[in-house]
Amino acid sequence: MIEQLTNGTSGRKPNGQFAKGNPGGPGNPYARHVARLRASLIEAVGDDGLKDIVQGMVTAAKGGDVAAAKLLLSYLLGKPVESVEPDYVEIHDKQLQSKERALDSDEKIAALFG
């Protein structure tokens, strides 16, 4: 039998969960500095400047600049989701229906096909 190792004085229980009174981590030591830099950048660019930059990106993308188009589309549309295999569309639909109906087992999903 394997003995469960403890984490000593790391502030965790033997199962790995945080123990009561755990002080937590130090946080991000650069957060305040980054916030100041962002505030400076926002102040330097301003609302009108940002509008001009975005319009320049749109113009560049429409003019064929692939990098500008890719950047704009990634922010406008987000990261593409993984597509469903065409052979499994019906199964995927049934799985979505089962989640809506709180069917949580393969047997209950399979019953939908019956």
Helix (H) or strand (E) holding 75: helix 66-77
Predicted confidence pLDDT, tens digits, the chain (114 residues): 444 444 455 778 888 888 888 877 788 889 999 999 999 999 999 989 999 999 999 999 999 999 999 999 999 998 877 777 778 788 878 777 766 666 556 666 666 666
Which residues are bridge partners to 18 per DSSP? 12
Helix 106-113 and helix 89-100: axis angle, to 10°?
Answer: 120
Helix 31-62 and helix 66-77: axis angle, to 10°?
Answer: 120
